[in-house]
Amino acid sequence: MKDRIKKIKVLALDVDGVLTDGKIVFDSNGAETKFFDVQDGFGIVFFRKAGFKTAIVTARASKVVTLRAADLEIDKVYLDAFPKTHAYEKMLRGFKVKDNEVCFVGDDLPDLPVLKRVGFAVAVANAVPEVKKAAHYVTKKKGGNGAVREVVELILKTQGKWQGTLARYA
């Protein structure tokens, strides 16, 4: 697993069930609400500051996701990405990277085609069994509850970049 992680240059993420707990809430006016974990967000910031690229690849279009991605300065955002492989191919070309340089974090069946291609496939703890089976790593934490931060720390520590992150905040 270490050899896979050491090649990673890009972190690509699903949203519902990965960056959130999978719940989608609509108020009485039809406005959508999602709950994002602050530590996951800081993890993405740490990852970007360490020189990595980030992307969101989600099958749903959502203003809330667009706002959160802008807040975190995610490099590339692909909404309405179904099948996800089309957006994934664009991402590869845009970042000029190969499959083995990408970590993708997913939780459900639409994520499988991308998970089967990337260098480091990650399933969150609450992922469906088929996704867990396809993953190189299954997080201890659930989606929307620190799973992304767990992945970020694993990559940064394995690549020897975690101490630099700590030094910025010490």
Of residues 150, 100, 102, the one with CA closest to residue 125: 150
- What's residue 166's pLDDT? 85
Query: Widest CA span of the chain, in angstroms?
Result: 49
Contacts 24+ apart (CB under 8 A), 159-162: 159/5, 159/6, 159/8, 161/50, 161/51
Per-residue pLDDT reduced to its tens digit, 126-163: 999 999 999 999 999 999 999 999 999 999 999 999 99
- What's residue 170's pLDDT? 73
**Residue 160: how many CB atoms within 10 A of its CB?**
9
Instruction: Tell me the CATH number of domain 2-162, given options 3.40.50.300, 3.40.470.10, 3.40.630.30, 3.40.50.1000.
Output: 3.40.50.1000
**Where exactly are the structural domains of the chain?**
2-162
- What's residue 100's pLDDT? 98
